Amino acid sequence: MERIEQHPILSIETAETIHITVDGRVLEARAGDTIAAALLANGIRTFRHTAKLHEPRGLFCGIGQCTDCIMEVDGRPNVRTCVTRVRDGMIIRTQQGNGGLRHEAL
Ligand code: FES
């Protein structure tokens, strides 16, 4: 995991280690992390691919405004991972396009 372990001004609190599954891989996360923070700590930068051009997207605004970080979480598409906390046993998938929504339904 890539994390800041020491900081000259801020204290780094330790948190319980939990496990999440991302695209079939079991990864460690820390309780209280957002999904996006846990993914970045595990070296994952691509969270979804766009619907038309299949371009990779990842963390952009980090405050729940742009939707670049959406993923499928526990079977639910379009979850903003930068503002959603991890939970032990959570199953996360890289979202492809609209995340299961059919174009006819849009
Ligand atoms: S990075 Fe913009 S909504 Fe999550």
How many angstroms separate the alpha carbon of residue 40 from the centre of ligand 1? 13
DSSP 8-state symbol, 105: G
**Closest ligand 1 atom number to CA of residue 58:** 1
**Average pLDDT score over residue span 16-22:** 97
> Is any ligand 1 atom within 6 A of the Cβ of residue 40?
no
The average confidence (pLDDT) of the chain is 92
Beginning with the edge strand found earlier in the chain, give each strand of the sheet holding 76-80 in spatial order.
25-30, 17-22, 91-93, 70-73, 76-80
Which of 24-28, 54-58, 101-105 has the least mean pLDDT? 101-105
> Is any ligand 1 atom within 6 A of the Cβ of residue 39?
no
pLDDT reported for residue 99: 83
Q: How many CB atoms lie within 10 A of CB 34?
A: 20
Chain segment 22-52, per-residue pLDDT in tens: 999 999 999 999 999 999 999 999 999 999 9
> Is any ligand 1 atom within 6 A of the Cβ of residue 58?
no
Q: How confident is the model at residue 13 (pLDDT cuts 50, 70, 90)?
A: confident
Long-range pairs for 43-52: beta carbons < 8 A, 24 or more residues apart? 43/2, 46/94, 47/71, 47/81, 47/94, 47/95, 48/94, 48/95, 48/96, 48/99, 49/94, 49/95, 49/96, 49/97, 50/97, 51/97, 51/98
